[in-house]
Amino acid sequence: MANIKRPNGTEDILPSASRDWQMLEGLLREIAGKFGFREIRVPTFEQTDLFCRSVGETTDVVQKEMYTVSAKESTFTLRPEGTAGTIRAMLQNGLLNEALPQRVYYILSCFRHERPQAGRLREFHQFGVEMAGSASASADAEVISLAKQIIDMVGIQGIELYINSIGCPTCRKAYHKALQDYFAASKEQLCDTCLSRLEKNPMRILDCKSPVCGEIAKDAPVILDYLCEECSTHFEQLQKYLTLLHIDYKINPKIVRGLDYYTKTVFEFVTTDIGAQGTVCGGGRYDGLIGQLGGPETPALGFGMGLERLLLTLRNQGIKLSEEEACDIYFVPMGEQAAEKTFAMAAKLRSEGVSAQTDVMGRSLRAQMKYADKINARFTLVLGDNEIAAGTAEVKNMKTGEKTSLALDDTFAERFSDVLMASMFDEDGSFANLLG
């Protein structure tokens, strides 16, 4: 029987990589907290209608990419993005009745049936923030600033911020008419999906991944020429606030984002380091979504940041978030009595906050020392009958080779902690200044 393999478009995060994930997630939580955002956790699946109403029936996500299952008389979909479920949770649990703006963040997995490639998976992980209650362009700038601070903190180079405004329902009417007139001249060349969008939502054609449609859309009218006074003023204020924050940006009138709920501000942080899928973070304002889902008309905005894409960019730029994990001390027991004693000693050290391991495989001395190297043990302690009889044993610094004798009594944990601290701060490896 053939080995069972993971589904196409998914990844296993192995222990060697999970440390970077932990460090990144910790950093995300820390920065979001400084901006006043609190964590929210929502179900992995929602009623399918939630995504049809929010993301949009003419989007690629709804038309081609959702994972949907039927259970008795209900239809559920694995979340393809984080905003819709988060807004549903805010409404259902009354968060919008509390002090505004409401600021929440999430770290979750999303699912889309796309063609797997670098930076694009069928199960991917996303960090996102949502702010509900403010219509001010300063809120837009603050959310963009949060994303920028994350990118700066992890040290990524060569990422550019692109901004655009896609207007509101008022100014989009004239824009839709202009797009329909423009694409009508090439309707026979449009893909079937875009042909169906021509009447319902021609802006979606601008987001089509087909090279043919992309070429046709190259000279299409731009939304900035059709903005109403309110949307135009909002976009100008956003640029003023970004300038106040010393955040560089470029206006890209082709950005429409792939989801229907966006209004006014849309933005993307883009890199060229991960190939075609270069958008590391994207978001914008969605002032009509809360009302569309049955809540009070409430302005809102947010962004989603793909963690796989972010980590891929870090790797491509040679940036390490964390050092390889090391074991502080590895006990090498020789014999049954020694094995029992090191088992208890390791447990005691772990209760004191020290990373400690001991042999559980019954290996030889040579094999145990080889294993200690593989797990990056900082120190080793070989314990046999002679050491037990003498009541002392030597801990060996695996980097410098220096050895120090410690009593095998109740003071061992405290004395070893001194040795460990000295090794971290004394470059020549000398323990004399702490041990006396």
| Residue where one domain finishes, among candidates 287, 316, 345 | 316
Burial of 285 per CB tally in 10 Å (0-12, 13-18, 19+): buried
CB neighbourhood size of 209 (10 A): 13
Are residue 265 and residue 365 in the same domain, yes or no? no
Q: What pLDDT was estimated at residue 277?
A: 59
Query: What is the chain's alpha carbon radius of gyration, rounded to the nearest angstrom?
Result: 28
Q: Residue 49's closest CA among 25, 66, 26?
A: 66
Are residue 292 and residue 346 in the same domain, yes or no? no
Are residue 340 and residue 290 in the same domain, yes or no? no
What three-state secondary structure class fits 270?
A: strand
Q: What is the CATH number of the domain that holds 99?
A: 3.30.930.10
Residue 221 domain flag? no
The model carries a pTM of 0.86
| Residue type (1 letter), 306 | G
Residue 5 domain flag? no
Report residue 1's pLDDT band, with 50, 70 and 90 as the boundaries.
low
Are residue 249 and residue 378 in the same domain, yes or no? no
Q: How far apart are CA 184 and CA 160, in angstroms?
A: 34
Q: Residue 131's closest CA among 93, 165, 94, 86?
A: 86
Tokens of 98: 């509390």
Stretch among 53-57, 69-73, 254-258, 407-411 having the lowest mean pLDDT: 254-258
DSSP H or E run through 5: none
Residues 119-140 pLDDT 10s = 789 999 999 999 999 999 999 9
Residue 115 domain flag? yes
Are residue 240 and residue 145 in the same domain, yes or no? yes
Q: What is the CATH number of the domain that holds 428?
A: 3.40.50.800
Residue 223 domain flag? no
Stretch among 97-101, 303-307, 322-326, 381-385 having the lowest mean pLDDT: 322-326
Are residue 294 and residue 427 in the same domain, yes or no? no
Residue 279 domain flag? yes
| Residue where one domain finishes, among candidates 267, 283, 316 | 316
Q: How far apart are CA 276 and CA 406, in angstroms?
A: 58
Size of the chain in residues: 436
Residues 257-304 pLDDT 10s = 766 788 999 999 998 776 555 889 999 999 999 999 999 999 999 999
Q: How far apart are CA 105 and CA 37, in angstroms?
A: 6
Report residue 359's pLDDT band, with 50, 70 and 90 as the boundaries.
very high
Q: How far apart are CA 277 and CA 120, in angstroms?
A: 7
How is residue 225 annotated by DSSP? Answer: G
Considering its fold, how many domains does the chain have in total?
2
Are residue 270 and residue 345 in the same domain, yes or no? no
Q: How far apart are CA 143 and CA 137, in angstroms?
A: 10
> Domain limits at 352?
329-435
Residue 321 domain flag? no
Are residue 29 and residue 161 in the same domain, yes or no? yes
Dmax (CA) of the chain = 94
| Residue type (1 letter), 200 | K
Residue 202 domain flag? no
Residue 414 has pLDDT above 80, yes or no: yes
